[in-house]
Amino acid sequence: MMLPSAFWHRFLLMAFLPLMIILSACTSASSPTSDVGEPDSPSTVDRPVPATPIVSVQSGDLQGVREDDVFVFRGIPYAAPPVGELRWREPQPLNPWQGVRKADAFGYSCIQPDTSSLEGAGDPGALSEDCLFLNVWTPSITSGDRLPVMVWIHGGGLVIGAGSLPAFTGAPLAQRDVVLVTFNYRLGPLGFFDHPALEEANPDGPVNFGLLDQIAALQWVQKNIAAFGGDPDNVTIFGQSAGGQSVLALMTSPLAQGLFHKGIVESAYGVISNPRVRALDAGIRLANDVGLNGADATLDDLRAVPAEAFAQVTDPLASLAPSFVVGDPVLPEPISDVFRDGREAPAPLIIGSNSDEASVAGAFGFDPALLLESLPGMKWVLKVLYWGTGDDSDLARQVIRDVIFTSFARRIAAWHTRQAPTWRYYFSYVPEKLRETKTGVGHGDEIVFVMDTMDYVPSPDRFTSADRQMAKRMGSYWTAFARTGEPDPAGEPHWPRFTSRKDRLMEFGERIRVRKNFMKLRLNFYNFLIRVLDWYVRR
């Protein structure tokens, strides 16, 4: 999932400003193992198959459909529509419905910019401010089955995306005897917003409304997932990019405690958090951009603006993407601070990233080589760290990848391993037909492998049987982790835990293999610079 171009330069600035500061200051002054096995087989458990699947949840009865050998319930509302007086408020309880509600079609996706021109972004379908819906794929609607539950949090920089995109289809994982849940959450200014009028109405109240939506969806899972055969005491949250960032945020949020038990973080990014004062400034700019009188706009004025107008804002400084806001009841402290101090949820964690995360820059015409021009005095250091790398563009792509993604994943893993079992991965498997044109795996390209959804996305014929086999194998690691808390499916290479003393990582490439001390020198270098910057800021 990729960010709209209006936010890309701000994303780079947030990611590289600390590095540029510290690098400028600095300028002035074993063999892998490999085994190949068969993936876990789909379950062969015999279960009753009702002609019309109906389940009862707290708000009423739902009628789903039978597709792809699993039961599917789409478009389930999990909170009241956040419209009118409920815009920029905590998600509110649903009013129960009468009779049986059909759950055979996806609900509206949340308001967002048009990304139809962005390859790989996905079509979210019809948009509305009334968008708090979730979807369930399950092999069983017997409450006593207590199957592991996997809750997917979509990415998109907190600006775009939806739980209904084809790549997130839950049938393939549900066929492996898990219950798969996807959902929407408020995006952009409707999901992450502050303004003087909002502060006056609710001083120091919430700002991360989209994150509150995620918590409400997890609360719904706790209350209702048993009706779909799921086990509310075995919930794994997983997500990519902003979805991965959301997993980390939920692990640090005091409001999310007890709502999940394991986490998987794909391609989360290490960028600067938004302080509350920055959110206020963005809100004032946003009010100006939609035709109101900046800081003097009233809450009634802001709530009267058509929701669609917030997706057309042109001032990049009116956006808080792609970071959460720090300093509200949902996220009182920066994610990194909580992990560094060992105060996050002690949940088993998988965390990793891809081999060409910098593709998120190239997708919008940004030349990564421009990064090196901003760090002329450190180019020789980077050449040493990336010995044998090709031209400046390739070097810069790898630096972007490692500063924003790879080193951040290692940093979080090193902190979290003190709290709970932790595993690291690096995804480098390029589909067979693309190997002559692509040198790595782009941002978000692992999703169809994790969720085994190659047959649900456009142009499925671009994937070979070997690609599909890789998806089966990778998905088996994810579902094994959801089932047991250990990513060790039968017949596959053992994935050892990461610790600070035993630096082990699983590479999902043309071979699935354990790597020792993977990129250790350069990642230690970047993380040392981050520690120095952190000390400098705190002194």
Task: Give residue for tokens 């001032």.
Answer: 315
The Cα–Cα gap between 285 and 318 comes to 5
Quick one: which H or E segment has residue 240?
A: strand 230-240
Q: Is 357 a catalytic residue?
A: yes
Cβ neighbourhood burial of 502 (10 Å; 0-12, 13-18, 19+):
exposed
The Cα–Cα gap between 272 and 182 comes to 27
Q: Which one from 241, 273, 323, 336 is the annotated catalytic residue?
A: 241
The Cα–Cα gap between 462 and 406 comes to 28
Q: Which one from 266, 344, 357, 507 is the annotated catalytic residue?
A: 357
For residue 169, what are the contacts with CB-CB under 8 A and spacing of at least 6?
137, 451, 453, 456
- Confirm if 350 and 475 have CB atoms less than 8 A apart: no
Q: Is 443 a catalytic residue?
A: yes
Q: Running DSSP on this structure, what letter comes out for residue 508?
A: E
The Cα–Cα gap between 247 and 319 comes to 21
For residue 49, what are the contacts with CB-CB under 8 A and spacing of at least 6?
66
- In this structure, are strands 179-183 and 147-153 parallel, antiparallel, or unpaired? parallel
The Cα–Cα gap between 114 and 186 comes to 16
- In this structure, are strands 60-63 and 65-67 parallel, antiparallel, or unpaired? unpaired
Q: With b meaning 16 or more CB within 10 Å and e meaning fewer, what string describes 506-534? A: bbbbeebbbbeebbeebbebbbebbeebe
Instruction: With H, G, I as helix, E, B as strand and everything else as coil, classify residue 271.
Output: coil
Quick one: which H or E segment has residue 34?
A: strand 33-34
Q: Which one from 195, 261, 416, 443 is the annotated catalytic residue?
A: 443
The Cα–Cα gap between 143 and 224 comes to 10
What are phi and psi for residue 238, nearest 5 degrees?
-150, 150
Show which residues are catalytic: 241, 357, 443
